[in-house]
Amino acid sequence: MADNNGTDKIEPNGNGAIGAVRNADLIEEMQTAYLDYAMSVIVARPPRRA
C-alpha cells in the first residue's frame, strides 16, 4: 500500500517477510529528492531585512 509520497508502507504479508520491493527510476528519485530538499532549505531560511 502506498502512502502520500509514493513509498511503500512496511506491512506483514503472512509468510514472515515484511514490506515490498518496488523498482524506482534513479533519475526521477534524485530529481524529486533534490527539489524537496531545496524547497525545505528555502522555506526554512528567514526573510532578509531590507
- Using DSSP's 3-state secondary structure scheme, residue 12 falls into strand
Q: What is the largest CA-CA distance in the chain?
A: 62
pLDDT for residue 23: 84
Which three three-digit cell numbers place residue 2?
A: 502506498
pLDDT for residue 40: 94
Q: 12 Cβ partners below 8 Å, 6+ apart?
A: 18
CA distance 12 to 41: 36
For 20-50, the pLDDT digits (tens) are 777 889 999 999 999 999 999 999 988 888 6
Distance of CA 27 to the CA centre of its chain: 14
Report pTM.
Answer: 0.46
